[in-house]
Amino acid sequence: MIGLGPHGVFIIWAYLGVAIGVAGLIGWTLYDARTTAKKLAALEARRNA
């Protein structure tokens, strides 16, 4: 493993925290895009009815 010095554990946990945060934001964005697409489809169906 790369020598990270005495702060290696902190650095690893910091990177892990950022990775979890970014993954959460990506998941939230995908969920929001899916729900927005469903709402848009419902509005378009209502308009064409």
What does the pLDDT read at residue 1? 57
> d(Cα 33, Cα 39) in Å, to the nearest integer?
10
Give residue limits of the domains in the chain: 22-49
pLDDT digit string, tens, across residues 12-36: 999 999 999 999 999 999 999 999 9
At a CB cut-off of 8 Å and minimum separation 6, what does 19 contact?
Answer: none
What does the pLDDT read at residue 3? 82
